[in-house]
Amino acid sequence: MGTISNYDRVKELKDFDETKMGVKGVVDSGVETVPKIFIRPSDELLEELKTPCVNLQVPVINFEGIGEKDRYNEVVKEVLDASEKWGFFQVVNHGIPLKVLDNMLQGNQMFHEQDADIKKKFYTRDMAKQVLYQSNYDLYTSKAANWRDTLVVDTSNSGPLDPTELPEICRDAMLEYVDHVLKLSDLLLELLSLGLGLKPDYLKEMECSKGWTLINHYYPACPAPELTLGSSKHADPTFLTVLLQDQIGGLQVIHKNQWVDVQPIPGALVVNIGEILQIMSNHKLKSVYHRVTSNKVGPRISSAFFLKGALSSPKLYGSIKELSEENPVMYREFTLGEFNANFFSRPLDESGFEYLKVSNHGDGKLKEILEV
pTM for the structure as a whole: 0.92
Q: Is residue 172 part of a domain?
A: yes
180 vs 346, higher pLDDT: 180
Q: Is residue 180 part of a domain?
A: yes
Mean pLDDT calculated for residue range 340-364: 71
Is 4 a residue whose pLDDT tops 80? Answer: no
Closest CA to 138 of 293, 342, 351, 347: 347
Q: What is the pLDDT of residue 61?
A: 98
Digit-coded pLDDT (tens) for 129-169: 999 999 999 999 999 999 999 999 999 987 889 999 999 99
Q: Is residue 68 part of a domain?
A: yes
Q: What is the pLDDT of residue 372?
A: 44
Flag the least confident range among 42-51, 158-167, 346-355.
346-355
Q: What is the pLDDT of residue 369?
A: 41
Q: Is residue 5 part of a domain?
A: no
Closest CA to 241 of 250, 249, 251: 251
Digit-coded pLDDT (tens) for 353-368: 777 888 654 444 444 4
Is 315 a residue whose pLDDT tops 70? Answer: yes
Question: What is Dmax (Cα atoms) for the chain?
Answer: 76
Mean pLDDT calculated for residue range 343-353: 75
User: Which DSSP category does 230 fall into?
Assistant: E
Q: Is residue 289 part of a domain?
A: yes
Digit-coded pLDDT (tens) for 73-110: 999 999 999 999 999 999 999 999 999 999 999 999 99
pLDDT tier, 120 (very low <50, low <70, confident <90, very high otherwise): very high
What 3-state DSSP class applies to 15? helix
Q: How many domains would you assign to the chain?
A: 1
CATH number at residue 19: 2.60.120.330
The residue type at 196: L
45 vs 193, higher pLDDT: 193
Q: Is residue 110 part of a domain?
A: yes
Domain that includes residue 72, residue range = 14-370
Q: Is residue 86 part of a domain?
A: yes
DSSP letters for 310-365: -TT----B---GGGSSSS---B--B-HHHHHHHHHTS-TTS--SGGGB-TTS-HHH
Sign of torsion over alpha carbons 353, 359, 360, 365: positive
Q: Is residue 2 part of a domain?
A: no
Is 325 a residue whose pLDDT tops 80? Answer: no
Digit-coded pLDDT (tens) for 250-285: 999 999 989 999 999 999 999 999 999 999 998 899
Q: What is the pLDDT of residue 364?
A: 42
